Amino acid sequence: GNSVTQMEGPVTLSEEAFLTINCTYTATGYPSLFWYVQYPGEGLQLLLKATKADDKGSNKGFEATYRKETTSFHLEKGSVQVSDSAVYFCALSDLNGGFKTIFGAGTRLFVKA
Amino acid sequence: DVKVTQSSRYLVKRTGEKVFLECVQDMDHENMFWYRQDPGLGLRLIYFSYDVKMKEKGDIPEGYSVSREKKERFSLILESASTNQTSMYLCASITPVGRVGTGELFFGEGSRLTVL
């Protein structure tokens, strides 16, 4: 079945550092890929998405490219801020699976001033 | 603004009690979901519903049931709460692919349940 694997955290960075959170997936068919973010005390919200191979999703300075050949969707940001401290979840949604979304375990990011 | 509302942010219950968690969405979505969130395990799907009165088991349905009597409302029921059901519960609805959407989930703020 479908699955998502993302790097374990926590990840601790200083402000303005470069961020990469790795995500790989296993899926039959052609899923949509997502990054969701959960700020402290809140539910999850969509950060960015990509619906087909080679698509790049971007939002708030974050980017991720849908790589079918490596089955990856790594999250990157060139310069993190303290306000980016949160838990980040990689996810896939399969149309053929009844729109069920499968999540990775989440990666907690701490950004120090 | 789209909204998914969960009835209770924090609940404390005793072992054996019946627990209702309610969720309402205002986006006219057909598909709704209940997830459980635990540290190191991410989100795991308990149940989902693709229409009124329709439901399907997710990956961890044991100990739970659901009710969908109206399109906008999806309830999660713990018939007899146990301590291993202490967790954060998240409700979500989805914009299906092909219907002005790409499968994005909209989440409520979560209900943190503690079973003593």
pLDDT of A98 above 70: no
Model pLDDT for residues B5-50, shown as the tens digit of each residue:
998 899 999 999 999 999 999 988 888 999 999 988 889 999 999 8
DSSP A72: B
Write down the pLDDT at residue B23.
97
Between B29 and A100, the higher pLDDT residue: B29
pLDDT band at A106 (very low <50, low <70, confident <90, very high): very high
CB contact under 8 A, B110 and A34: no
pLDDT band at A97 (very low <50, low <70, confident <90, very high): low
Write down the pLDDT at residue A41.
84
pLDDT band at A65 (very low <50, low <70, confident <90, very high): very high
Write down the pLDDT at residue B37.
94
Residue B60's nearest CA partner among B106, B42, B92 is B42
pLDDT of A9 above 90: no
Residue B73, min C-alpha distance to chain A (Å): 18
Contact residues, chain B to chain A, C-beta under 8 Å: 4, 31, 33, 35, 40-45, 48, 50, 56, 58, 90, 92, 94, 96-98, 102-105, 107-110
Determine which helix (DSSP H) or strand (DSSP E) holds B112, and give its type and residue range: strand B111-115
Q: Which two tokens stand for residue A76?
A: 């990157």
pLDDT of B99 above 60: no
pLDDT-above-90 percentage for chain A: 76
- Cβ contacts of B24 on chain A, cutoff 8 Å: none
pLDDT band at B1 (very low <50, low <70, confident <90, very high): low
Write down the pLDDT at residue B94.
87
Residue A11, min C-alpha distance to chain B (Å): 14
Mutation target to probe the A interface, by most A beta carbons within 10 A, among B9, B104, B109, B111 is: B104
Mean pLDDT for the stretch of residues A27-47: 90
Integer CA distances (angstroms), A59 to B18, B58, B60, in order: 42, 30, 32
- Cβ contacts of A40 on chain B, cutoff 8 Å: none
Write down the pLDDT at residue A5.
95
Residue B40, min C-alpha distance to chain A (Å): 6
A4: amino acid identity, one letter: V
pLDDT band at A105 (very low <50, low <70, confident <90, very high): very high
Instruction: Provide the mean pLDDT of chain B.
Output: 91
CA distance B31 to B54: 10
Contact residues, chain A to chain B, C-beta under 8 Å: 32, 34, 36, 42-46, 49, 51, 89, 91, 93, 95, 98-101, 103-106
